[in-house]
């Protein structure tokens, strides 16, 4: 006996939620609302067997934010590779 990997019922609910609200998602687990499936996906953390929701604080740490309507959105900033966080060349006066 093997446990089915995907629960078709959950997938169906996801489909219905998306149908009702366009791109917007309501998380059944934490009750937060998301402006896009991408934002929703981003707030789910961990491997498939240990999926959990990020807290509001964790989402902010990942540069997610709430929009005016109370929906979580992903950052519009492109993700940077970790290496580039250390040094950004800054424009400024040059010492000669
Ligand atoms: Zn959630």
| Per-residue pLDDT reduced to its tens digit, 36-80 | 999 999 999 988 888 899 999 999 999 999 999 899 999 765 555
pTM for the full predicted model: 0.55
The residue assigned the tokens 């006996």 is 1
Quote the ligand 1 centre to 40 CA distance (angstroms): 7
* Those residues with Cβ within 8 angstroms of residue 17's Cβ, 6 or more apart along the chain or in another chain: 25, 26
Alpha-carbon gap, residue 11 to 15, rounded angstroms? 6
pLDDT digit string (tens) for 5-18?
Answer: 567 777 777 666 65
Q: Which is nearest to 37 in space by CA: 23, 51, 27, 26? A: 23
Quote the ligand 1 centre to 36 CA distance (angstroms): 13
For 20, the token pair is 């009702």
């Amino acid at each position: 006996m093997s446990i089915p990997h995907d629960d078709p019922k959950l997938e169906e609910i996801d489909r219905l939620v998306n149908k009702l609200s366009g791109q917007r998602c309501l998380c059944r687990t934490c009750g937060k609302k998301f402006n896009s499936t991408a934002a929703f996906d981003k707030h789910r953390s961990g491997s498939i067997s240990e999926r959990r929701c990020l807290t509001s604080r964790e989402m902010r740490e990942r540069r997610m934010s709430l929009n005016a309507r109370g929906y979580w959105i992903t950052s519009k900033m492109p993700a940077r590779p970790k290496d580039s966080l250390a040094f950004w060349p800054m424009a400024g006066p040059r010492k000669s």
